[in-house]
């Protein structure tokens, strides 16, 4: 995995900064959104909206000193809106193989997700939302538990507990995959 860095740049962003941010961050954001919402189309819509909002903010000369932090937070917020608007049915399981998206791309499709990522996303969908957020942010490797605690407005120990339970459940759901 490419190490993602927080880019600190004083002042305003040029059009090239915006382009670079898109090229450098699109794949990791799509992946991040996908494991959060477990839905290809919604993940794509979320990330596209986030990038368009980012371009708008950069054009309006807003001070975006932490590009990665801005983008991750924006995806997280949109994912929360998605949870709120699209409460998932609780009887979905990993056995719902027909719901795993096909890699035969549709004309509108943006991203092609590997089978491994689809399985991971499906397993993540089994976790409560709070645990899913913590595990996703951990896997994306950009935030500490303390920073995640601030985002979730919870204590660090609560976040660590969510992480531990989430990982245990994922390990159970993906027991055949993680040992490959």
The binding site for another protein (CB under 8 A) comprises 1, 10-12, 14-19, 22, 26-27, 30-31, 34-35, 48, 51-52, 54-56, 58-61, 105, 108-114, 116-117, 120, 135, 138-139, 141, 163, 167-168, 170-171, 174, 177-179
Strand partners, 66: 8
Report the nearest approach of another protein to the CB of residue 59 (Å).
Answer: 3
Report the nearest approach of another protein to the CB of residue 78 (Å).
Answer: 15
DSSP-derived secondary structure letter, 62: -
**E strand or H helix at 80:** helix 67-85
SS3 70: helix
Interhelix angle 67-85/15-37, rounded to 10 degrees, is: 40
CB nearer to another protein: give 52 or 96: 52
CB nearer to another protein: give 83 or 110: 110
Contact 113, 121 (CB under 8 A): yes
CB nearer to another protein: give 16 or 84: 16
């Amino acid at each position: 995995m490419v190490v993602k860095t927080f880019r600190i740049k004083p002042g305003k962003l040029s059009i090239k900064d915006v382009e670079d941010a898109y090229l450098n961050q699109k794949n990791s954001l799509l992946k991040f959104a996908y494991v959060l919402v477990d839905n290809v189309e919604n993940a794509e819509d979320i990330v596209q909206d986030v990038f368009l909002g980012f371009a708008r903010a950069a054009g309006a000369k807003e001070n975006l000193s932490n590009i990665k932090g801005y983008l991750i937070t924006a995806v997280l917020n949109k994912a929360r809106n998605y949870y709120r608007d699209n409460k998932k049915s609780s009887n979905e399981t990993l056995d719902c193989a027909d719901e795993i998206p096909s890699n035969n791309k549709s004309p509108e499709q943006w991203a092609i997700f590997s089978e491994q990522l689809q399985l991971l996303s499906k397993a993540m969908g089994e976790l409560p939302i709070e645990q899913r957020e913590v595990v996703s942010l951990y896997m994306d490797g950009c935030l500490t538990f303390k920073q995640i605690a601030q985002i979730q407005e919870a204590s660090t120990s609560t976040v660590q507990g969510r992480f531990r339970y989430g990982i245990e459940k994922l390990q159970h759901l993906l027991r055949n995959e993680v040992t490959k």
